Structure 1
């Protein structure tokens, strides 16, 4: 597993040399843009609209736009020095909190943490302490020129670091348009909605959820590579245009019950088949 960061984590006087590894990966299918006429990949060039010419990399500087067309130029040396000052610091756990106290809206990216040379004992100590207390650590870390707020927790016997957003990075929920005010809910509709939720409630199994669009796109790509004629999938039945809320809930409940019976039948058939084999 590729190491993307090396450093240390400290809590109190305990220092743990560690490595970070990306815990997730983006499996989006990247499509290139080609010139339709000759099927050549399109190039993107950096052009100055005032000088009307292409600009080389060594001619480009970084700046902050503090007002419309007003910039503060930042030297690359200053940025590198500032970055190094932060990266040289150990990742210090400043607080311990309960995981349920952090709303999921704050979570950003996940990284596995492995011990570096000589860090196994301290790594195991922090892992056991977090497991026994049921707490997670809150820390700061510098990753790719950005200071990140992060939490450290145990995931399947491995320490996991998750970067989280700062409060000012989460937009104010009051700015969300057209959110209805508190309205009186009809009891019959509420009871039916609860029944529907109960009917669809199950244990979370991540393996049952797949990216159907990505699978279909990969299949399409393979068919095109082999020169096969691509068949158009049949359209799914269009649901009834139900405008009555109660009727929509009732239809959803009936459909959920039907799906549940079908799943039980399939499970029973599988068990009988396994028993007979």
Structure 2
């Protein structure tokens, strides 16, 4: 794993240097979109509405509009914000672990001790275990202020970012507002049904059936020869002739250089021609 962020957990005078790692990963089969008629790749272009050019990410800034005015915010502006520059994970409070509602959990991250001695890290971990408390922390990551739960999992400190209170909706369903009568007999039967399914949760016992079936489908199509060459899914750029000719990045760069050189040679040739004509005209005039 590669760390995505470095900082330090701080509470009181205690400072615990840590590296942050993503704790989860996506196992879905990666699919892209193609045209159903010819299998050509479908591309989404970042086109400027003012000049009409396709813009690279390097030249894209963020902006906010209030309807009448638009404020452009550059990466330099964002990095200058005090909260963004901070590399501290500040402990706000320690709360009973059972007070956290799972609906508030967002992303999970593992924390590795960063430094010559992991003593402060181990001390904090053991303290959380002994007190059965979870630390509520506040920090900035990727241009966003985060609220998170700092807790222990398998002897490792981990962060679980939390949704803000106003990001969790309130469920209000009219059908539940009416009075519903449930008999003791119905409760007993329902409890018996639950008991028949009772077990201990083991995550490894469950698999993503859809992804497994999708991989099987892909393998079957490949085995049956029901596939096309990947190069055939790439089209031709608008300014390049060739009827289906495929250009890779190196070829595109080579052609660009050749064009530039050709244009330069043409310009130099035109300049020499002009100079020669001027000299002849001058000599003729003097004669």
- TM-score above 0.5: yes
C-alpha distance in 2, partners of 1:124/1:27? Answer: 32
C-alpha distance in 2, partners of 1:158/1:109? Answer: 16
Structure 1 partner of 2:17: 17
Aligned residues: 225
User: What secondary structure is seen at the aligned counterpart in 1 of 2:66?
Assistant: strand
Listed one character per residue, the Cα deviations across residues 237-270 of structure 1 (whole Å, up to 9, x for unaligned) are xxxxxxxxxxxxxxxxxxxxxxxxxxxxxxxxxx
Out of 198, 213, 237, the position equivalent to 1:201 is 198
For structure 1, the 5+ residue unaligned runs are 230-277
C-alpha distance in 1, partners of 2:159/2:138? Answer: 10
Shift of 1:47: 2.6
1:65 to 1:194, Cα distance in 2 relative to 1, 3 A: farther
Q: Please identify the structure whose Cα radius of gyration is greater.
A: 2
1:61 to 1:23, Cα distance in 2 relative to 1, 3 A: closer
For structure 2, the 5+ residue unaligned runs are 227-287
C-alpha distance in 1, partners of 2:192/2:225? Answer: 47
CA contact (8 A) 1:112 1:160 kept: yes
Q: Are 2:25 and 1:28 equivalent residues in the alignment?
A: no
Listed one character per residue, the Cα deviations across residues 170-197 of structure 1 (whole Å, up to 9, x for unaligned) are 11223x5654534111332222111111
Please report the RMSD computed on the Cα atoms of aligned residues, expressed in angstroms: 2.2
Normalization by structure 2: what TM-score? 0.71
Alignment map for 1:68-107 (pairs within 5 Å): 71-82=70-81, 85-107=83-105
Shift of 1:209: 1.4
CA contact (8 A) 1:8 1:16 kept: yes
1:196 to 1:154, Cα distance in 2 relative to 1, 3 A: same
User: What secondary structure is seen at the aligned counterpart in 1 of 2:129?
Assistant: helix
Structure 2 partner of 1:117: 115
Structure 1 partner of 2:218: 221
C-alpha distance in 2, partners of 1:180/1:225? Answer: 55
CA contact (8 A) 2:83 2:145 kept: no
CA contact (8 A) 1:106 1:170 kept: yes
